[in-house]
Structure 1
Amino acid sequence: MRALLPFPSHGCLTFHRNTQFPWSNDLPFIAGSAPYTVYAPLYSGVLGEALTPQEAAALAVAHLPPDCGPAFDGPWPPPDSHIS
């Protein structure tokens, strides 16, 4: 998670695979304060709640996709990809 781009906004802490707009928006994120709610990408579902920031981060990490590597410099989608 430390290799991703954290982006705090509107009471949420989102994480992105890239460093420039438009953002990837395809990773779990954390909303609110205790209890913290961890959401699937784009509010597509609730992954769970946590009482501490550490628990919320662990829950988000547990739901990262297997191909999630460090954030790259540039906009989404990644260069040379077929992702839209």
Structure 2
Amino acid sequence: MLKKITAISLALTLTACANTDALDANISSLSNKVDALSAQVADLETQQQSAAADAKAVKAAAMQASADAKAANERIDNVVASYKK
């Protein structure tokens, strides 16, 4: 019985040692994939910040155009009112 347990323990030890290279390769592969995804996330964050800044600029331009149009309409209304008098 003791010989069987020793033989099984030896076989498991040899199997575990043989798998460390494969495990290291898998870990390295996964680390590379995580690094690539991290780079993609950083790039997407930069693009999102740029898009948000562009949207903010467009909103400000639209608000300014609206204010300018309102002022122009008031001037036109004043010109039309002066002709009626």
Whether the TM-score (by the shorter chain) exceeds 0.5 is no
Structure with bigger gyration radius: 2
Could you tell me the TM-score, scaled by structure 1's length? 0.19
Could you tell me the TM-score, scaled by structure 2's length? 0.19
Higher relative contact order (CA 8 A, sep 6+): 1
Q: Which has the higher strand share?
A: 1
Q: Which has the higher helix share?
A: 2
